[in-house]
A = this chain, B = another copy of it.
Amino acid sequence: MKLLFLSVGKPHETYVQSGIEEFTGRVGKYFPVSWQLIPAPKNAANMSELALKKAEALAILQQLQSDDYLILLDERGQQFNSPGVAQVIQQRANESCKRLVFLIGGAFGVDEPITKRANTVWSLSKLVFPHMLVRLILAEQIYRACSILKNEKYHHV
């Protein structure tokens, strides 16, 4: 199973970059993993919120394959604890899922068709985090989940 971190927006900002690289690298010991960043549309600044979300949705759908298992990060989703995240990953692996995709939407969230396409909507917290920080939290949590699945020491309660 491959993992893909898909995120709308700019390259990782400096303040999160080394952490994202570190934790993504560690995830790579368990699963082939990569980041795919989807740049905002060229005239995003002049677009309405809805038009922007629609343009982003098209770009997101172009990246997805029909048999991807899509986990959308959205504060209106379901919260998991860290072992719960591990379980979600394990279940996908057990189902012979080819690619597990974690999607971080744009500044205004994602358009309805993306929410419908998502197999799981995952809320990290009731709090709103900046998208750059969500990338770092995601990379760390997926590394943590992998370490939980292998009964390694990183996670302790």
CB distance from A22 to the nearest CB of B (A): 6
Residues from chain B with Cβ under 8 Å of A84 in the complex: 126
Residues from chain B with Cβ under 8 Å of A14 in the complex: 18
User: Are A140 and B133 touching (Cβ within 8 A)?
Assistant: yes
Residues from chain B with Cβ under 8 Å of A128 in the complex: 81-82, 144, 155, 157
Question: Taking the complex as formed, is A28 at the interface, i.e. its CB lies under 8 A from any CB of chain B?
Answer: no
1/0 per position for A46-64, CB-CB distance to B under 8 A?
0000000000000000000
Residues from chain B with Cβ under 8 Å of A137 in the complex: 127, 129, 133, 137
Please tell me which one of the listed residues B81, B136, B156, B157 contacts residue A133 in the complex, with CB atoms under 8 A apart: B136
Please tell me which one of the listed residues B18, B22, B81, B155 contacts residue A126 in the complex, with CB atoms under 8 A apart: B81
Question: Taking the complex as formed, is A85 at the interface, i.e. its CB lies under 8 A from any CB of chain B?
Answer: yes
User: Are A22 and B15 touching (Cβ within 8 A)?
Assistant: yes
User: Are A140 and B130 touching (Cβ within 8 A)?
Assistant: yes
In Å, the complex CA distance between A16 and B15 comes to: 7
User: Are A81 and B155 touching (Cβ within 8 A)?
Assistant: no
Considering the complex of A and B, which 7 residue pairs feature the smallest CB-CB distances, nearest first?
Answer: A15-B19, A125-B125, A81-B126, A15-B18, A82-B128, A79-B126, A82-B127
